[in-house]
Amino acid sequence: MKKQIIKEFITIKKVRRLPPKEPPAEPPVPRRVLVVGRCTLDMITVCDDHPSPGVTQRTEEGFWRLGGHAANTCCVLRRLGTECEFLGQLSSIGAFEHLLSSFHAMGIDISSCPRTAHDPPHQSIVVVRGQETRTTVEYSKRKHELTFQQFVGAVDYRKYSWIHFEARHPRETLRMMQAVRDYNARNEDANIIVSVNLANKRPLGLLLANMADYVIVHHGFLKLYGYMNGREAVWAVRERLLVMQKRWLAKKPKITPSPNPDEQQLDHDCAPPVRKQPTIIYENYEQGASCLMADDRYFKVGGQQPQKIEDTIGEHDTFVGAFIYALQEIKLSLRDALEYGTRATSHKITQFGFDCLRCMPKDLISCYYA
């Protein structure tokens, strides 16, 4: 009996001393696209002629829908089949519930968005049927914009492969982009691509462009600064970026040279690496998209003429979303991605809203036969 008890005791001790099993490896988290910006309530009225001041004009066509550059870009990405997330301030007012339902219906993640009790931003848009011109009255305040503290508290960088900024508040957006750059520098495996919209050549906007990988210039650049074509626009942005870099280097305090050559070599090795120039893209579906690469190589893709024009609201956002989709999902080259974005924009303006993009071919070759 004693031998049996001792034998069982020794067996139990051996089992207790076995090494613990390694936990199963966690599956890789799928990375998605994050769009940072603003969401608005668009009240759209379609008229045959542009209304004159002081005249009451009746129409039978009009609707409300989700709006804002960042929200529209998310709609385009979801219609094309890309997982995306929207980050911006959302209102808890009852009139805003329809927009929240639209986000959930399309499968756009808004779980990280801060909520506010302020009135939501909205736009009153008058569209003339069959023409590209429209009149927009926008209501927005600084309190509607996302802050840097809200961005840092909501973003988990491990979940994203691409972050696109609308850049409504340049000072806050500059700190957000710097935070993404710092994360890429700390993590060797992280390679988050950063893109930004550029609407003008103001100094803060150019600082944002200098920190991005892709700068997408709005087609209103030509009218705003009187450029002849997209080639002049992208080269003008590049020249302004170089001028700002020279001014920054001139104001930077100079380091006193050390008499010891070993210390001079150490200072040279510890100097921060110089960032490459961003790729500047000018979008225009009629004239074609122009691109100036980081090594100053320029190329252009042909324009697309739609059969009819129904809705030009969100054409810039359609190009941005389709361009990101082409590079991220179907892994097209830069030139093919620009052409895909141009074709998607031309297809979108033939119908109201973004639902028509569901029928958009998922590769460039199929676009030629659609």
Q: Which helix (H) or strand (E) holds 163?
A: strand 160-165
**Domain assignment present for 10:** no
Within a domain: residue 56?
Answer: no
Residues 37, 47 contacting (CB under 8 angstroms): no
Give the domain range for residue 72.
Answer: 30-47+61-251+275-369
In a domain, 238, yes or no: yes
What Å distances lie between residue 249 and 210, 246, 252, 294, 296, CA to CA? 14, 5, 5, 20, 21
Instruction: Identify the residue whose tokens are 């031309």.
Output: 346
Instruction: Tell me the pLDDT tens digit for each residue of 86-121.
Output: 999 888 887 788 888 889 999 999 988 998 887 778
The total number of structural domains in the chain stands at 1
Check residue 54 and give left, alpha or beta (phi > 0: left; psi -120 to 50: alpha).
Answer: left
Write down the pLDDT at residue 268. Answer: 47
* Inside any domain, residue 303: yes
Q: What is the pTM of this model?
A: 0.84
| SS3 state of residue 222 | helix
Residue type, 130: G
Check whether 339 has a pLDDT greater than 50: yes
Letter for the amino acid at 337? Answer: A
Mean pLDDT of the chain: 83
Q: In angstroms, rounded to a whole number, what is the distance separating the alpha carbons of residues 73 and 86?
A: 9
pLDDT at 293 over 70: yes
Alpha-carbon 157 to chain mean position: 15
The per-residue pLDDT for range 78-95, each reduced to its tens digit, is 999 899 999 998 888 877
Q: Is 259 part of any domain?
A: no
CATH code for the domain of 175: 3.40.1190.20
Among 217, 328, 229, residue whose Cα is nearest residue 282: 217
What's the pLDDT at 258? 55
Closest CA to 68 of 320, 369, 307: 320
Q: Using one digit for the tens of pLDDT, what is the confidence trace for 218-276?
A: 888 887 888 888 899 999 999 988 888 787 777 767 666 555 655 555 444 444 445 67
Predicted confidence at residue 2, as pLDDT, reads 53
Q: Would the CA dihedral through 87, 89, 91, 96 be positive or negative?
A: negative
Q: Report pLDDT digits (tens) over 123-154.
A: 888 888 767 777 888 887 777 888 999 999 89
Please identify which residue in the block is written with the tokens 């379609």.
Answer: 46
Band (pLDDT 50/70/90 cuts) for residue 46 is: confident
Q: Per the domain annotation, does 265 fall within a domain?
A: no
pLDDT value of residue 29: 63
Which residues have a Cβ under 8 Å from the Cβ of 245 and sit 6 or more positions away?
210
Does residue 267 belong to any structural domain of this protein? no
Domain presence at residue 13: no
pLDDT mean over 169-196: 91
Cβ density class 196-217: b for 16+ within 10 Å, e for less: bbbbebeeebbbbbbbbbbbbb
With beta carbons less than 8 A apart as the criterion, state whether 118 and 143 touch: yes
Signed CA dihedral, 100, 175, 215, 243: sign only: positive
Residue 272: other Cβ atoms inside 10 A: 6
3-state secondary structure of 215: strand
